[in-house]
Amino acid sequence: MTISGNPEITLYNNPLPKGCELCRLGSKLVVFISGECGDSCYYCPVSSERFNKDKMFANEMEVKDLMDYIYESYRMNALGAGITGGDPILALDKVTELIGMFKEEFGESFHIHLYTSGRYVTNDVLKELVGVGLDEIRFHPLKEEYKEAIRKALKYDLDVGIEIPSIPGEGERTVELVKWAKKEGVKFVNLNELELNERNFFQLNSRGMKVAHGITGAKGSYENARKVVEEFREDKEITVHYCSSVYKDVVETRTRFLRTIRFSSKAYEGFTGEGTVVRAILKGKVDDLTYGEKIGNDLYSFYPEVIDELVSKYDVSEVKIVEEHPDSRRLKVSERLIYSKSQQAGYSS
């Protein structure tokens, strides 16, 4: 058996869990259900804006209502959702209601996985989650006693996995965890590249960890994960899967953006290979809306390629090219003035 993948992105010894497969297609909605968590890991990747706060996000967008998750799923034509936090079990009512809504709206095949430390997972919790249709559960057993929840989950009709950060210097401990997981019948162990962010930066730096891969990946995290994947390269019983910070930062977000563009951008919007939308914002008076629409008083949004023609034909005072994220927030990446009648500016591309 060989190791599949690419060290920059992912490495794995066996087929990936279904939740990861769908994530690679950019087709999983990321549900951040609440930042509340009873633990406080020094490496916690959750941002200050979210950690221990009762806030909800659909992908990168803050939402106030569970229906917003349904709307966002439609925008990207999601094939499933991954529920995370904090510890989602602390928001169990919301989680079960939302899983029920997903299954009702999109059918049983809409794949749902959930992350938890396991701290609050009891048989009653598992019965509720399985009852509403949860497909896959991933544990982060940061304390020995949390492993008991994994044993419990293995008795239910669920795919059970472990997902932990790959901590430099903890290779042997990780190998022991994978061996334990295999013996218990756990399907997969995901090792995430440890990431530095604005909240855990000092904690990780004080332990000698610095960024060495991509924008956020900690030095030694990849090497640690690679050794563990190699240790199990011939093993057919358990999937060991390394997922890099570059994958999460660049590939996952980009494929999700490209998917959102495919299913919900407007016909007159252009797009880039990075998964951003490009359009021309034009001020003036234009009669022909074949390649655009009116978005305000004397304000239009147009396909960028038709701007030359519109400027020559109509009374146009200003044209800007804007690049935005394709999701509902329409976060602006850049804005360029390419034509101004008052400044007699020509085009600049």
Residues that bind ligand SF4 (CB under 6 A): 37, 39-41, 44, 46, 86-87, 117, 140, 142
DSSP secondary structure string for all residues of 257-304: HHHHHHHHS-TT-EE-TTS-EEEEEEEEE----TTEEEEETTEEEE-G
Residue 40 Cβ vs ligand SF4, minimum distance, rounded to whole Å: 5
Strands 188-193 and 239-243: parallel
Residue 176 Cβ vs ligand SF4, minimum distance, rounded to whole Å: 20
Residue 162 Cβ vs ligand SF4, minimum distance, rounded to whole Å: 13
Residue 42 Cβ vs ligand SF4, minimum distance, rounded to whole Å: 9
- Strand (E) or helix (H) holding 319: strand 315-324
Considering beta carbons, is residue 87 or 318 the nearer one to ligand SF4? 87
Per-residue tokens: 21: 């497969």
Considering beta carbons, is residue 39 or 104 the nearer one to ligand SF4? 39
Distance CA 139, CA 116 (A): 5
Distance CA 20, CA 314 (A): 51
3-state secondary structure of 98: helix
- Smallest CA-to-CA distance from 174 within 97, 100, 268, 240 is with 240
Considering beta carbons, is residue 41 or 212 the nearer one to ligand SF4? 41
Strands 80-85 and 61-63: unpaired
Say if CB 219 and CB 194 are below 8 A apart.
no
Residue 51 Cβ vs ligand SF4, minimum distance, rounded to whole Å: 7
Residue 87 Cβ vs ligand SF4, minimum distance, rounded to whole Å: 6
Considering beta carbons, is residue 142 or 212 the nearer one to ligand SF4? 142
Per-residue tokens: 311: 């400027």
Residue 45 Cβ vs ligand SF4, minimum distance, rounded to whole Å: 7
Considering beta carbons, is residue 19 or 275 the nearer one to ligand SF4? 19
Considering beta carbons, is residue 182 or 199 the nearer one to ligand SF4? 199
Residues 6+ apart with CB under 8 A from 134: 99, 112, 113, 114, 158
Considering beta carbons, is residue 202 or 263 the nearer one to ligand SF4? 202
